[in-house]
């Protein structure tokens, strides 16, 4: 087990109607608030009205910035930064899913920085300060509600890049599973895939003695796998929606990665695809992960056997461990298919036109991944396996 610091101080407020507490939780951080959100869904659902009402009840002045898109853009982040600076904003409230929260985090960091916010994403500057942010979560997926990171896309060259700092963790996250009832099946499934991918990235490590975190990862994966069919078949099932929502947070609050170095190659590879094709992140991961597994499993057959056995209940064939491994990978792929995710690039009409370009761009700052280091040519092979 490697040395680690675990320090996640996000206050998670979980349950029915908890969005009514947003004013009370926000006012702690100031009276001038940037309300950040995506499209019209929070207005259609009535959530917007509830949030604004609660904020007004606590005497909070609201500045608004909607329009966050999936794969949130740096152009909107820059707009948000300007708004914060011009109006001396105290606090940013993100109402939405991972894209909105990531955008809010980037704005929060940019608001306390003199240069261009993209500097944090291409490694030209380090985050040292940021505005406090809070979250009303509507899409369980990215885990951004208590994570320290953000992923932003730069339209100028379609670079999708991440950065992170523990001070970017939201101060609070309000999590009401009822708010996820109206998520369409495809988006629900993308979220499920994303949270599973967050665990898988941590699961595939070269650290040998990490039994507790291995088992916590397996526990969370099994819970997601068991509840996914229920939320898709019965979208207003509170209990299943709650299990999925809670799993999504734990998948990415750093607990499941303590004492080990995760991989994160598949995330980076997916960023290249969705940077160019504007594919939903979860769908991209459902395509990349099985291909990545097929490409790297020989690096540590035993770890893949454990995964197949403990997560997917594949019986261990001691005379043919590879068969066990491939059984686990197949089950992973079948599961993603069963919840309506694509598992091949051709299913989303992506051909090999940009394989070389994506591989080159993805590795221009060095090889990807930690479990196995992946170079330009490896990415091309993984793209081919994903066809």
Of the two residues 3 and 114, which places its CB atom closer to a copy of itself in the complex? 3
> What b-and-e string marks burial along 324-342, b requiring 16 or more CB atoms within 10 Å of the CB?
bbbbbbbbbbebbeebbbb
| Region near a copy of itself per CB under 8 A, out of 44-52, 135-143, 194-202, 205-213 | 205-213
The yes or no reply on residue 219 touching a copy of itself (CB under 8 A) is: yes
Q: Is 216 in the site for a copy of itself (CB under 8 A)?
A: yes
Q: Which of residues 255-294 bind a copy of itself (CB under 8 A)?
A: 255, 258-259
Under the binding rule (CB under 8 A), the answer on residue 302 touching a copy of itself is: no
Q: What is the DSSP letter of 174?
A: E
In the bound state with a copy of itself, the residue whose beta carbon lies nearer, of 318 and 364, is 318
**Closest Cα to residue 105, out of 140, 141, 71, 149?**
149
Total Cβ atoms within 10 A of residue 49: 11
Looking at the Cβ atoms of 4 and 315, the one nearer to a copy of itself is 4
- 117-153 in b/e burial notation, b at 16+ Cβ within 10 A? bbbbbeeebebeebbbbbbbbbbbbbbbbbbbbbbbb
Q: Specify the length of the chain in residues.
A: 387
Q: Both tokens of residue 307?
A: 């995964």
What are the structure tokens assigned to 232, written together?
């898709």
- Total residues in contact with a copy of itself, by rule CB under 8 A: 39
Residues 6 or more apart whose Cβ sits within 8 Å of residue 302: 321
Residue 205 binding a copy of itself, by CB under 8 A: no
Using CB under 8 A, pick the residue from 212, 298, 315, 365 that binds a copy of itself: 212
Using an 8 Å Cβ cutoff, are 10 and 145 in contact?
Answer: yes
Strand partners, 160: 153
Nearer to a copy of itself, 84 or 255 (CB): 255
Element at 35 (helix H, strand E): strand 32-37
- Measured in whole angstroms, how far is the alpha carbon of residue 320 from the centre of its chain? 35
Whole-number Å distance between alpha carbons of 300 and 206? 8
Question: Per CB under 8 A, which region of 53-61, 127-135, 207-215, 347-355 contacts a copy of itself?
Answer: 207-215
- Could you tell me which stretch among 114-122, 223-231, 356-364, 371-379 binds a copy of itself (CB under 8 A)? 223-231
Q: Which residues contact residue 192 at a Cβ distance below 8 angstroms, ignoring those fewer than 6 apart?
A: 141, 224, 228, 231, 244, 282, 339
Letters for 231-260 (x = contact with a copy of itself by CB under 8 A, - = none) are -------xx--xx--xx--x----x--xx-
Nearer to a copy of itself, 78 or 222 (CB): 222
Q: Considering only residues 2 through 21, tell me which ones interact with a copy of itself, judged by CB under 8 A.
A: 2-16, 18
Give the residue, chosen from 223, 317, 354, 356, that forms a contact with a copy of itself under the rule CB under 8 A.
223
Shortest Å, Cβ 47 to a copy of itself: 18
Nearest approach in angstroms of CB 114 to a copy of itself is 27
DSSP state of 73: B
What part of residues 83-102 is at the interface with a copy of itself (CB under 8 A)?
A: none
| Both structure tokens of 204 | 């595939």
> Using the rule CB under 8 A, is 357 a contact of a copy of itself?
no
Which parts of this chain interact with a copy of itself (CB under 8 A)?
1-16, 18, 209, 211-212, 215-216, 218-220, 222-223, 226-227, 238-239, 242-243, 246-247, 250, 255, 258-259
């Amino acid at each position: 087990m490697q040395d680690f610091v675990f320090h996640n101080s996000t206050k998670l407020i979980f349950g029915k109607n908890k969005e009514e507490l947003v004013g009370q939780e926000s006012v702690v951080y100031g009276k001038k608030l940037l309300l950040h959100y995506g499209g019209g869904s929070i207005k259609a659902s009535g959530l917007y009205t509830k949030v604004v009402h609660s904020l007004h009840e606590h005497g909070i002045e609201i500045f608004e910035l909607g329009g966050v898109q999936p794969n949130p853009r740096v152009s909107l982040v820059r707009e948000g930064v300007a708004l914060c600076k011009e109006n001396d904003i105290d606090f940013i409230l993100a109402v939405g899913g991972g894209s909105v929260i990531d955008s809010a985090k980037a704005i929060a960091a940019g608001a306390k920085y003199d240069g261009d916010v993209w500097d944090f994403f291409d490694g030209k500057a380090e985050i040292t300060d940021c505005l406090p942010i809070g979250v009303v979560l509507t899409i369980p997926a990215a885990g951004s509600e208590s994570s320290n990171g953000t992923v932003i896309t730069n339209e100028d060259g379609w670079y999708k890049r991440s950065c992170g700092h523990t001070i970017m963790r939201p101060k609070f996250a309000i999590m009401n599973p009822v708010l996820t009832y109206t998520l369409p099946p495809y988006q629900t499934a993308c979220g499920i895939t994303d949270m599973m991918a967050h665990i898988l990235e941590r699961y595939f490590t070269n650290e040998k003695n990490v039994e507790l975190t291995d088992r916590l990862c397996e526990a969370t994966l099994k819970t997601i796998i068991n509840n996914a069919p229920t939320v898709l078949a019965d979208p207003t099932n509170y209990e299943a929606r709650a299990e999925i929502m809670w799993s999504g947070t734990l998948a990415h609050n750093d607990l499941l990665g303590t004492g080990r170095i995760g991989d994160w190659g598949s995330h980076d590879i997916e960023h290249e695809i969705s940077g160019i094709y504007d594919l939903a992140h979860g769908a991209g991961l459902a395509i990349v992960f099985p291909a990545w597994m097929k490409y790297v499993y020989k690096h540590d057959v035993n770890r893949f056997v454990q995964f197949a056995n403990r997560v997917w209940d594949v019986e261990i064939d001691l005379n043919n461990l590879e068969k066990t491994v491939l059984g686990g990978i197949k089950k992973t792929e079948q599961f993603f298919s069963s919840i309506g995710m694509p598992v091949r690039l051709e299913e989303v009409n992506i051909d090999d036109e940009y394989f070389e370009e994506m591989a080159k761009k993805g590795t221009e700052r060095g090889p990807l991944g930690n479990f196995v280091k992946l170079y330009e040519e490896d990415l091309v092979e993984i793209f081919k396996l994903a066809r």
